[in-house]
Amino acid sequence: MRWVVHLFVPGRVPSEDFYTRWSPRVESAASGGVYVELFSGDIRKGAGELLARTRAVLGEEVRAGAAPCKLVARLASRHAGGEPIRVVFPEEVRAFLAPLPLGDTGWLDRRRREELALLGCHTIGDLACLPEKELVRRFGAEGRRLAAWSRGEDDERVKTLKLPDRWEGVIEREGGERLASALGYHAAKLWEYLEATGREVGELRLDGPSGVSRIRRFLRPPSSPAGLLAVMTALAGELWRETGGEAFSEFRFVATLHPRPWRQLTLEGKRGGEDLERVLEQLRDRRGLMIGRRLLPESRREKALSLFDPFRLRS
């Protein structure tokens, strides 16, 4: 099932890049916090991991809400109460929304709230009780949106975050042990970024003075921080010798990045074709790849593909 998690940090906005290891659909919320779209059968586990990682960086005041859409997820994080995560399941949406004051939703300005108050609407539940035709007659297209929102219906997807296709690091006027230390630092930072965003290095270029460069293209990209450091060190050594070492002013590493492919994917269970389409959509979202599939014969329908948990599935 597709879920939206809203993480809210009072007065602070989490970085979108931080969440791309879990989903490519990440969007800063205008009201504060960040939306992350997940595709998970165990949303408490998925949202719990997001919350734990966010709290490790930004502190214990982070709140999280999870729901089938952005609208309800944002309200769930605001009304989590004493819970670290407030999960609103589809069948609970209307009951969750009903008692919430219209003033807490952020949907309406003061004038519109006063107009609705004259109609006896003070909570979302009151608004849901009004006939949609009456709302449309009074407020036009906005009335239709209000009727949908009061039922917890919001078809706006979390936006797909476009990641940069390159990474750069600069080492200035280093030498000897300091150069080795700087190389280690940049290799660690690049590897951290690769792990966080689910990407890998397709090409690594080291630019030196006077337009001198060394390039490595990878059929098999480095699979560990040590492997990445070894390549960077070899490039630096070649460039150092060619430029006379002491004469250079700076090294600039430029890594060309691309999505990390899935090595193996196994799905099994008792789900239908609709779930399969959702899985394939999520895989395309996560890595920007076309995923092939083989349809099972009718006799093996019970072994059709099922939803997967992205927190257990890693490339």
Q: Helix (H, G, I), strand (E, B), or coil: what is residue 309? A: coil
Q: Is 61 or 132 the better-scoring residue by pLDDT?
A: 132
- Residue 212: domain span: 166-259
What are the pLDDT digits (tens) for 246-296? 545 677 889 998 877 654 444 444 444 555 555 555 554 444 333 344 443
Q: Helix (H, G, I), strand (E, B), or coil: what is residue 65? A: strand
- For residue 8, what pLDDT is reported? 87
The Cα–Cα gap between 87 and 71 comes to 13
Give the pLDDT band of residue 137 (cuts 50, 70, 90). very high
Burial annotation 186-205 (CB, 10 A radius, 16+ → b, else e): bbeebbebbeebbbbbeebb
> Of 123, 150, 177, which marks where a domain is finished?
150
Same domain, 221 and 99: no
Residue 116 lies in a domain: yes
> Of 150, 185, 202, which marks where a domain is finished?
150
Count of structural domains within the chain? 2
What are the pLDDT digits (tens) for 83-103? 889 999 999 999 999 999 988
Residue 127 lies in a domain: yes
Flag whether pLDDT at 235 surpasses 70: yes
Report the residue count for the chain: 315
Backbone angles phi, psi at 252, to 5 degrees: -125, 115
> Of 150, 177, 212, which marks where a domain is finished?
150
> What is the average pLDDT value for the chain, to the nearest integer?
77
What are the pLDDT digits (tens) for 147-174? 999 999 988 888 877 777 888 888 776 5
